[in-house]
Structure formats: structure tokens, C-alpha cells
Amino acid sequence: MASLSTGVTAAGLPTGVPAGLGRLAATAGRRVAALGVLAALWEGLPRLRVVDPTFLTPLSEVLAAWWDLLLSGELLDHTQASLIRSLAGFALAIAAAIPLGLLIGWYEPVADLLNPVLELFRNTAALALLPVFVLVLGLGETSKISIILYACAWPILLNTVAGVKSVDPLLIKSARSMGLHPVRLFQKVILPAAVPTIFTGIRLAGAYSILVLVAAEMVGAKAGLGYLITYAQFNFRVPDMYAGILTISVLGLLFNQLLVRLERRFSTWRTT
């Protein structure tokens, strides 16, 4: 293990830099440092034969494979297929779960009626239901988009219900005192008050849409990043497999960043 540490360089701080700049560099440095260490390990461990390079391809070779996949257009096709599935499931989940959540949050009888069923389903892992989806909806796009929809719907639904239920009663009282009838009360008070909480659900759903996607594509798909990963593994194209995994990670990261930005935009007033 002693040979390991030679590949890792400590990120030292330059001395004599103004304090503010120094602190900024330190923060940036710390962020890059962890990734740098990871990259160095990924490159170093197989090269130094600590792990078998057949199973863990050095990072540089993975990147080269990724570049080839990009140039051949293969990567783009798979990414596109995956994104369409993810976004379709995600969008449908938003369209279905928000109205349902508002209904459940607002009407006590609906909540009482649906709660036992919801409790049962939310505690069933989405992927455990994948075979059922395939059985009922076949191996095509419908079952893949459906399972993503299903997985994405939960965080949105539960957060929407929570958002509606946690509106400050005083705000409702205040609006009622100004003679607002229920429909307007909902539109002008309940909905805007619930938006930040709903957005938290949407952000979580965004992450799920990528997580579940890969699993869905491992069963009977002919394109997609999940398919690329399993296919490459079956054919022992290990660098391609890692290239696929890397692409998924970056995609998930970017999607999440986008949603975090949006969430912040919609809930500036929440920063009390």
C-alpha cells in the first residue's frame, strides 16, 4: 500500500497570496482535490497492478474509449434514447403527481381514502415492480417510461401533499378574513406557499429518473446508456462499459444542477 501514496499529491496552499484570494483558492482546491484523488486512484491502481486492469480500465483508456464512442455517433444515439425516456417519464410524473398531490393535500376525504394505498406503494421499491411492468406493458418503450414515471411520481406526490398541508394556518386565516373564497384561496395562497416544497420533490424525482432509467434499460432495450453498459459488459468491452457509466454520472449531475438552480429561483423568499 505504501506505493499508493506516491500517486497522490497533497494540495498545498501557496503562501503570500492575499487572504481573500487564498481562501477562494482553498475552497476551489478542496473541491478539485477529492476528484483529483479519485481520478488518480482510478488511473494509478490498475496501472500499478493493485487491481486487475482487465476489470478496472485506467481512466485515460476509459476517456479514450469515450472519445471513440462519441466520434462514431454511438454515444449520442444512446444518450438521446435515454434522455427521451427519462424526460418523458419525468414530465408525465410531474403532470400526474402534482394535481393528485394538491387534491390529496387539500381534500381530507381524498387523503383518508387514498392514504393506505399510498403507504403500501411508497414502501415498495420501484425496481421490484419492474418485472410487473414488463409483464403487463411488454418490453417496449411504454414499460420503460412507465417505470420511470412511477419512480418519479412518488417524491413529487409526497412533497406536494406535504407542501399543501404545511401552509401556515395564519396565512389562510388572513386570506379568508379578506373574503377569499376557496378557489381563489387555493390559487393565491395554498399553491404559491407550496411551490418550494413541490420543487424539492421535483428535484428528487429528477435524480430518480436517471437512477431508474439505467435499470429499466438493462432489460430488453436496443438503445440507451443502460443498454450500452450491459451490452459492453456482455461483450467484454470493459472500457466502453466505464465510458457508459461515466456518461450516466455526468448526465445525472448536470440534470440535478439544473433542477437545483430552478428550485432556488422559485423559492428565493424561503431564505429566512
Binding site for another protein (CB under 8 A): 168, 170-171, 173-180, 184, 188-189, 192-193, 195, 268-272
Least CB distance to another protein at residue 41 (A): 44
CB 205 within 8 A of CB 94: yes
The smaller minimum CB distance to another protein, of residues 118 and 162, is found at: 162
Least CB distance to another protein at residue 99 (A): 21
The smaller minimum CB distance to another protein, of residues 50 and 195, is found at: 195
List, in order, residues 6 or more apart from 50 with CB less than 8 Å away: 4, 44
Instruction: Tell me how far apart the alpha carbons of residues 65 and 235 are, in angstroms, rounded to a whole number.
Output: 15
The smaller minimum CB distance to another protein, of residues 54 and 177, is found at: 177
Burial class (CB in 10 A: 0-12, 13-18, 19+), 226: buried
The smaller minimum CB distance to another protein, of residues 123 and 177, is found at: 177
The smaller minimum CB distance to another protein, of residues 51 and 171, is found at: 171
The smaller minimum CB distance to another protein, of residues 184 and 261, is found at: 184
Least CB distance to another protein at residue 128 (A): 39
For the four alpha carbons of 165, 169, 175 and 178, in that order, the dihedral sign comes to: positive
Least CB distance to another protein at residue 189 (A): 7
Closest-CA residue to 147 (of 197, 220, 200, 232)? 220
Least CB distance to another protein at residue 162 (A): 17
Closest-CA residue to 241 (of 56, 87, 80, 98)? 56
CA 47 to chain centre: 32
Least CB distance to another protein at residue 100 (A): 23
* Phi then psi dihedrals of residue 140, to 5 deg: -75, -160
Instruction: Tell me how far apart the alpha carbons of residues 80 and 66 are, in angstroms, rounded to a whole number.
Output: 16
